[in-house]
Amino acid sequence: MQFIVDNLPLFLTVISALATGIGWGAARIRRGYGLERDIRHLKNDYTALSNSTNQLITELERRMDTIEKEIAVIQGINQVFMAQRASHEQSSRDNL
């Protein structure tokens, strides 16, 4: 019994060191899992952002194609009106 009492501080020190080591190891493992989870979230966010960007680019290309077609139609209509105007001005000059 005297041996236990005499070595109690040593025993408590060893127990404390073991508990600290176990706690440190567990925290390190938890931190590793947390980092893996964060990296996985970043990859998922990057994938979602990439998909959204691709969808936006596709939509913008579709809209630009539509706008180009509408501009071509407007230019055609403008050419018809300009031809009619020139014809009308020519006939007005001929009548004078």
Residue spans of the domains in the chain: they are: 2-95
CA distance 66 to 75: 14
Element (H, E) at 65: helix 8-95
State the Rg of the chain over Cα.
Answer: 41
In tens digits, the chain (96 residues) has pLDDT values of: 676 667 888 888 989 999 999 989 888 888 889 899 999 999 999 999 999 999 999 999 999 999 999 999 999 999 999 999 888 888 777 766
pLDDT for res 96: 61
pLDDT for res 61: 98
Residue bearing tokens 């041996």 = 3
